[in-house]
Amino acid sequence: MNKRDFLKGAILFFPAGGLLALARDGARAAAPGPAREAEKAAAPEAPKPSGKRYNPADHYYGMGIEVEKCIGCSRCVEACKAENDVPAEPYFFRTWIERYTVRADGEVAVQSPNQRTRHVETTDDRDVIRTFFVPKLCNHCAQPPCVQVCPVGATFSTEDGVVLVDGERCIGCRYCIQACPYGARYLDPRTRTAGKCTFCYHRVVRGLKPACVEVCPTEARVFGDLRSKASRLVRFRRMNKLNVLKPALNTEPKVYYAQLDGEVR
């Protein structure tokens, strides 16, 4: 084959591929509806309990955490892993509990208890000024640094105030994991894409509470809609003096802490 023949062949071959694809799309369009509708129908549709269609513009979600109610039982951590299919090992978490121990000499120790290490700790009570648990999770910031750094636009804030990751776009570069000041992201070892708390988006659109809120025995977590006047979160925000984590970074977190100790980072 000489050069001329090759180029002629190529000229015929490549556009032909395009035409074939066009024909494929045409056939798809001729079927029930446009291609997008067909794809949507393929995914199981979320049941709408109220019968009304879920409209993201009506909602804006956040969470309240009452630090003094947390008993550190890790029910939320386990429920989150079960609900969201988070790998059990290595220790990746979408939500987790931290134990703060403030000692007389000003030293602050932070441990994250998991099922295995929870009760092994032995400390000299006399040095300990105070000790308490703090639940942590993605803050679903209104100004999320993780979204800013994503080179392919795979992570974004939804209209209803949740920061999501598009697993099909994510290239696993870990920029967002580095950028998150709260350590709320991890690289899922199975998909090699970034994983994080979604406020249990699939539950919330069905009118259910996130799994961690559902199982909390002491109501240390309050989930709600900042756009609704009657939501528990709005009442929580009115009744408590609130703090967010690392306010100096201007990330505008939407996870609000009541009775937060100054040592908590």
Partner 1 sequence: MRMPEQVQRLAIVIGVIAAVVLVGRFVLMPPTLVARELHRSSTEQREAAKPVKFAGSSACQDCHDNVVEKKAKGYHKGLACEGCHGPAVKHTEDPSAVTPAAPRDRKFCPVCHAYDAARPTGFPQINPTAHNPLTPCIGCHDAHDPVPPRTPKACAACHAQIERTKAISTHALLACTTCHTVPEAHKKSPRTVRPSKPQTREFCGTCHAKDAGAKEAAAKGTTATDAAAKRAKTARQAPRVDLSTHGETFQCWQCHYPHLPEGRS
Q: Which residues are near ligand HEC by CB under 6 A?
A: 73, 75, 217-218
**Residue-wise over 74-112: b if at least 16 C-beta within 10 A, else e?**
bbbbbbbbebbebeeeeebbbbbbbbbbbbeeeeeeeee
* CB distance 233 to 65 below 8 Å: no
What is the Cα–Cα distance from 117 to 102, expressed in whole angstroms?
19
Piece in contact with partner 1 (CB under 8 A), picked from 74-82, 135-143, 172-180, 244-252? 74-82
Binding flags for partner 1, 185-204, as an x/- string (CB under 8 A): -------------x--xxx-
Q: Which is nearer to partner 1, 169 or 174 (CB)?
A: 169
What is the Cα–Cα distance from 253 to 141, expressed in whole angstroms?
4
Pick what 125 binds: partner 1, ligand HEC, none; C-beta below 5 to 8 Å, kind-dependent: partner 1
The minimum distance between CB 73 and ligand HEC, in angstroms, equals: 5
Site for partner 1 in 234-263 (CB under 8 A): none
Work out whether 206 is an interface residue with partner 1 (CB under 8 A): yes
What is the Cα–Cα distance from 7 to 230, expressed in whole angstroms?
70
Q: Which is nearer to ligand HEC, 72 or 145 (CB)?
A: 72
Pick what 6 binds: ligand HEC, partner 1, none; C-beta below 5 to 8 Å, kind-dependent: none
Q: Which of 1, 18, 53, 262 binds partner 1 (CB under 8 A)?
A: 18
The minimum distance between CB 71 and ligand HEC, in angstroms, equals: 7
Piece in contact with partner 1 (CB under 8 A), picked from 82-90, 135-143, 226-234, 248-256? 82-90
Give the residue carrying structure tokens 């201007």. Answer: 250
Half-sphere exposure of 98 (CA within 13 A, CB side): 17
Q: Closest Cα partner for 127 from 141, 112, 108, 144?
A: 108
Tokens at residue 7, please?
């180029």
Half-sphere exposure of 87 (CA within 13 A, CB side): 14
Q: Which of 5, 27, 32, 45 binds partner 1 (CB under 8 A)?
A: 45
Q: Which amino acid is residue 252, in one-letter code?
A: E
Pick what 103 binds: partner 1, ligand HEC, none; C-beta below 5 to 8 Å, kind-dependent: none
Pick what 16 binds: ligand HEC, partner 1, none; C-beta below 5 to 8 Å, kind-dependent: none
Give the residue carrying structure tokens 């640094």. Answer: 145
Tokens at residue 78, please?
């386990």
Half-sphere exposure of 50 (CA within 13 A, CB side): 9
Chain residues that interact with partner 1, rule: CB under 8 A: 7, 10-11, 14-15, 17-18, 21-22, 25, 35-36, 39-40, 43-46, 54, 56, 68-75, 79, 82-84, 99-101, 118-119, 123, 125-126, 128, 131-133, 153, 156, 158, 164-169, 198, 201-203, 205-206, 208-209, 211, 214-219
